[in-house]
């Protein structure tokens, strides 16, 4: 199994960044066009990202420092709903937040897609969490990965 991990600085406090993973209205500002979230252990996690139907559940929710989500894609036998794990760690740093994101349990072909996708969406998260408008997602019309 493969995965993707990254560490980025975000110009916003951990509480604000955390909210962008647990509040549907905030999640869709940077990723997806529909979200239904029940941010508690074993609560539902559902987001539609430019036609990709992500389904799973929250595994751990420890405000404001840790979120773990069992993540997968409806209709994708290589990554069925809940089959991979997304772990988000948030640490306060110099008035902002260090975001550490690890997506593990991916098969090689899915890891390749996520290596392209996560940086795109994290850049959008960095903008919106800092109070900037990331604009419409250009991938909504023409996603670079299939």
Q: Name the nearest CA neighbour of 30 among 44, 17, 41, 45.
A: 17
pLDDT tens sequence across 91-115: 999 989 999 999 999 999 999 999 9
How far, in Å, CA of 58 to CA of 37, rounded?
9
Q: Which residue has the tokens 């992500």?
A: 54
Model pLDDT, residue 146? 53
| Segment 47-83, tens digit of pLDDT | 999 999 999 999 999 999 999 999 999 999 999 999 9
Give the pLDDT of residue 141. Answer: 79
Token readout for 135 is: 């604009």
Domain annotation covers residue 139: no
Domain range for 116 is: 2-130
The domain total for the chain is 1
In what helix (H) or strand (E) does residue 103 lie, and over which residues does it extend? strand 96-106
CA distance 18 to 11: 13
- Whether 143 is covered by a domain: the verdict is no
Q: Is 136 part of a structural domain of the chain?
A: no
Domain containing 108 — which CATH number? 3.30.530.20
Say if CB 94 and CB 66 are below 8 A apart. no
pLDDT band with cut points at 50, 70 and 90 for residue 145: low
């Amino acid at each position: 199994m493969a995965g993707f991990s990254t560490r980025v600085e975000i110009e916003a406090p951990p509480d604000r960044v955390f909210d962008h993973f647990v509040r549907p209205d905030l999640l869709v500002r940077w990723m997806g066009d529909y979200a239904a979230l029940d941010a508690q252990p074993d609560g539902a996690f559902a987001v539609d990202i430019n036609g990709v139907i992500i389904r799973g559940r929250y595994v751990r929710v420890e405000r404001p420092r840790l979120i773990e989500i069992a993540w997968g894609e409806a209709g994708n036998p290589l990554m069925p709903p809940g089959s991979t794990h997304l772990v988000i760690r948030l640490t306060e740093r110099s008035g902002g937040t260090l975001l550490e994101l690890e997506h593990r349990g991916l098969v090689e072909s899915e890891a390749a897609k996520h290596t392209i996708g996560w940086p795109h969406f994290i850049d959008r998260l960095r903008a919106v969490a800092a109070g900037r408008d990331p604009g419409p997602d250009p991938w909504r019309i023409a996603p670079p990965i299939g």
